[in-house]
């Protein structure tokens, strides 16, 4: 029998890889369930992560593909089950019920329809405002607020003292397993109705103004430094530390296929760095401390 208290990370990885490779034979196998539950517990305790900071890896983050395979294994071996949480009922894989918290964990989950899926980590002093959702494999660090209608997608990595404002969407990724998840580093302010997707990395202290959308295909125009920041096949989109990004627009290129663009006044959405964070910017975020 697998003992998650004594098993090393390397041993757990070997067990997950072995059962994942067995394909459909893993379904209904007791040892497979034990390995998966050990992984799920380790994820919830923050002992392992789908991605983690690493000075030795590109862009400062290492993807743990085996953890993603373990999460996918949980879906493979799970069976649909009716679940209840208070007056609400759900039908989902029995391997991923909603998490339950105690006051001793120091996590505020304000009443009103929020849900945190098992296999997600929330640190002490995280605040969850209703309704919000945190998916499996996500990591939410200390002092972060997940505001109403905000989503933290599968395997997303959220740093310390981050504010995910109302209706902010942090995209998730399970497949391909080697793909970078969305990373939002410490002390970032994500404004209302923002969307951060497709492995984007938001560096420490950045501010995303309300309505900013970031994807791999979205170049960022840095007016301060006079450069255009782009993703590539090898490089995710990276928002620099302390950048203040606002939604803007740019003129459509004068191509033959765009002949009517100028006449119609058509422009395309473009995120723009208008400044880098300073004391005045920080003053606008002090209200968060009063709400924690």
**What's the rounded Cα separation, in Å, for the pair 75 and 92?**
10
Q: Is 199 exposed, middle or buried (0-12, 13-18, 19+ CB in 10 A)?
A: buried
**What's the rounded Cα separation, in Å, for the pair 136 and 127?**
18
Instruction: Return the residue matching tokens 């918290």.
Output: 101
Whether the full predicted model's pTM is greater than 0.85, yes or no, is yes
| Per-residue DSSP letter, 161 | T
Q: Which two tokens stand for residue 71?
A: 């999460």
**What's the rounded Cα separation, in Å, for the pair 35 and 11?**
10
CB 193 within 8 A of CB 210: yes
CB 121 within 8 A of CB 135: no
pLDDT digits (tens, 9 = 90+) for 84-97: 877 778 899 999 99
Mean pLDDT, rounded, of the chain: 91
**What's the rounded Cα separation, in Å, for the pair 268 and 211?**
14
pLDDT digits (tens, 9 = 90+) for 190-249: 999 999 999 999 999 999 999 999 999 999 999 999 999 999 988 999 999 999 999 999
Q: Is 281 exposed, middle or buried (0-12, 13-18, 19+ CB in 10 A)?
A: middle
User: What residue spans define the domains of the chain?
Assistant: 9-77, 98-291
**What's the rounded Cα separation, in Å, for the pair 268 and 143?**
36
Rg of the chain in Å (alpha carbons): 21
CB 117 within 8 A of CB 98: yes
9-77: CATH number: 1.10.166.10
Mean pLDDT, rounded, for 245-274: 87
User: 246: which strand partners?
Assistant: 272
Q: Which two tokens stand for residue 138?
A: 């996500």
98-291: CATH number: 2.160.10.10
pLDDT digits (tens, 9 = 90+) for 87-127: 778 899 999 999 999 999 999 999 998 999 999 999 999 99
CB 239 within 8 A of CB 197: no
- Phi/psi at 282 (5° precision): -65, -35
User: Residue 88: its pLDDT value, please?
Assistant: 74
User: Residue 1: its pLDDT value, please?
Assistant: 42
More confident residue, 1 or 75: 75
Q: Which two tokens stand for residue 141?
A: 């660090």
User: Residue 252: its pLDDT value, please?
Assistant: 86
- The H-or-E segment that residue 139 falls in is strand 139-140
């Amino acid at each position: 029998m697998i003992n998650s208290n004594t098993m090393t990370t390397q041993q757990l990885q070997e067990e997950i890889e072995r059962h994942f490779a067995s394909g459909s034979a893993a379904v209904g196998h007791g040892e497979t369930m034990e390995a998966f539950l050990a992984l799920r517990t380790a994820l919830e305790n923050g002992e392992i992560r789908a991605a983690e900071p690493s000075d030795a890896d590109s862009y400062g983050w290492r993807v743990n593909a085996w953890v993603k395979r373990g999460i996918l294994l949980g879906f493979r071996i799970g069976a649909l089950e009716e679940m209840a949480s208070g007056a609400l009922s759900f039908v989902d894989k029995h391997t991923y019920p909603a998490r339950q918290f105690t006051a001793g964990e120091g996590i505020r989950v304000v009443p009103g329809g929020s849900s945190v899926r098992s296999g997600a980590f929330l640190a002490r002093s995280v605040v969850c405002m209703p309704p919000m959702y945190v998916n499996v494999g996500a990591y939410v660090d200390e002092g972060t607020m997940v505001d109403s209608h905000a989503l933290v997608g599968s395997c997303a990595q959220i740093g310390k003292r981050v504010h995910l404002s109302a209706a902010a969407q942090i995209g998730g990724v399970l497949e391909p397993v080697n793909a970078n998840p969305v990373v939002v580093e410490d002390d970032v302010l994500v404004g209302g109705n923002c969307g951060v997707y497709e492995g984007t990395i938001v560096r420490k202290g950045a501010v995303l103004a309300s309505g900013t959308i970031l994807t791999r295909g979205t170049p960022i125009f840095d007016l301060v430094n006079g450069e255009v920041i782009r993703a590539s096949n090898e490089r995710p989109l990276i928002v620099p530390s302390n950048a203040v990004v606002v939604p803007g627009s740019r003129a459509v290129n004068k191509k033959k296929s765009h002949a009517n663009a100028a006449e119609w006044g058509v422009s395309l959405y473009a995120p723009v760095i208008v400044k880098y964070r300073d004391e005045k910017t920080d003053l606008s975020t002090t209200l968060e401390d009063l709400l924690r």
